[in-house]
Amino acid sequence: MNAGLFRRVMALIADFIVIAALVSATFSFVARPIFVSRNPDFEDLFESFRALEDEKNEKLRPLVDEEYYVNQALDLSEDDEARSRFFRCSPLPKSRKEWLDDIEQQRGEWLAKRDALDDEDLSEDRREAEEARIEAALEDLDLQSDILDEDEAQLRERRDAIAEERARINEHYSHLNYPDEYDVGDAYILFSVYLYPVIAFSAFHIIYMLSFKGHSLGRRLMRLRLSGNINPLSLLLREFFWKYVYWVLTLGFGVFIDIYMCILTQDRKTPRDHFSKTRVILDEVVYPF
């Protein structure tokens, strides 16, 4: 009997965990040390790179918030139909008056919280953290009020100024001023986040499935096994190309196609089962259908 969706998914998850653990372990104990050894100053440069990125993000964050509010305020000048379409998924009010009323309501709530701090038994650190959080919220509300007081021309000028300032900050924190730090940081992120995980996962997955001839640990755990035309080529196509490559090329829709065919077709066979002429069956149970 062909296996159902639940067992196949659980086997897939178990195999994924095994391979991901191999990727993580080999990165930590093999790949990263090799990468670091190629640059004697890696640790210092990468630490400086992280500090620069934190500093850049700290400067960009208020600009991003301000730009968001400016764009919302500009949208209020659009016609009612366009505004309605935009605000359908927006947490902000649909008119300037509603927005201003909401600001005043929130300001009153935050001021009440600030006044209530005097009556609460808090540690010094906790009190300072709460006061900072309240002040940040009040500053954000003041920013929204200031933006709503401006007309459309002023808002457009403000948006352009924000864009220029963001570009200036991004240009400052770049290879132009910190070439060594950003060369090391960008290379490490590219290697550790994209190249090594993708290449290593693909390689380990292929080796893993070929070594077990498709009878992976996940399938054994769920008492499943692969049946049919099992050979290195069919395993490579089935377990790699018609699984992960197929899912990526279909932008994830291949996953839903697999689920649909596992649940709603009589033989419970996915495209990779058909193309590779194999099937996943319950262990020790073989039927001619």
Beta-ladder partners of 278: 228
pTM of the model as a whole: 0.76
- pLDDT range class, residue 253, cuts 50, 70, 90: very high
Is the predicted pLDDT of residue 36 greater than 80, yes or no? yes
For 46-60, the pLDDT digits (tens) are: 999 999 999 999 999
Q: What is the pLDDT of residue 1?
A: 67
Would you state the structure tokens that stand for residue 60, as one six-digit string?
């960009």
- pLDDT range class, residue 5, cuts 50, 70, 90: confident
Cβ atoms of 32 and 192 within 8 Å: the answer is yes
Would you state the structure tokens that stand for residue 186, as one six-digit string?
């960008």
- pLDDT range class, residue 138, cuts 50, 70, 90: very high
- pLDDT range class, residue 37, cuts 50, 70, 90: very high
Assign 3-class secondary structure to the chain: CECCHHHHHHHHHHHHHHHHHHHHHHHHHHHHHHHHHCCCCHHHHHHHHHHHHHHHHHHHHHHHHHHHHHHHHHHCCCCHHHHHHHHCCCCCCCCHHHHHHHHHHHHHHHHHHHHHHHHCCCCHHHHHHHHHHHHHHHHHHHHHHHHHCCCHHHHHHHHHHHHHHHHHHHHHCCCCCCHHHHHHHHHHHHHHHHHHHHHHHHHHHHHHHHHCCCCCHHHHHCCEEEEECCCHHHHHHHHHHHHHHHHHHCCCHHHHHHHHHHHHCCCCCCHHHHHHCEEEEECCCCCCC
In sign, the C-alpha dihedral spanning 57, 61, 67, 72 is positive
> What are the backbone angles phi and psi of residue 38, rounded to the nearest 5°?
-75, -15
Beta-ladder partners of 2: 281
Domain boundaries along the sequence of the chain: 5-38+187-282, 42-173
- pLDDT range class, residue 32, cuts 50, 70, 90: very high
Q: What is the pLDDT of residue 288?
A: 52
The tally of CA atoms less than 13 A away on the side-chain side of residue 174 is: 8
Give the other-Cβ count within 10 Å of 124's Cβ: 7
Cβ atoms of 73 and 147 within 8 Å: the answer is yes
Q: Which residue type, as a one-letter code, is found at position 287?
A: Y
Is the predicted pLDDT of residue 89 greater than 90, yes or no? no
For 264-287, the pLDDT digits (tens) are: 888 888 888 888 888 888 876 555
Q: How many residues appear in the chain?
A: 289
Cβ atoms of 243 and 277 within 8 Å: the answer is no
For 182-198, the pLDDT digits (tens) are: 999 999 999 999 999 99
The dihedral region occupied by 192, where left means phi > 0, alpha psi between -120 and 50, and beta the remainder, is: alpha
Q: Give percent above pLDDT 90 in the chain.
A: 55
Torsion, CA 218, CA 220, CA 226, CA 231, rounded to 10: 80
Nearest alpha carbon to residue 158 among 57, 67, 64, 65: 67
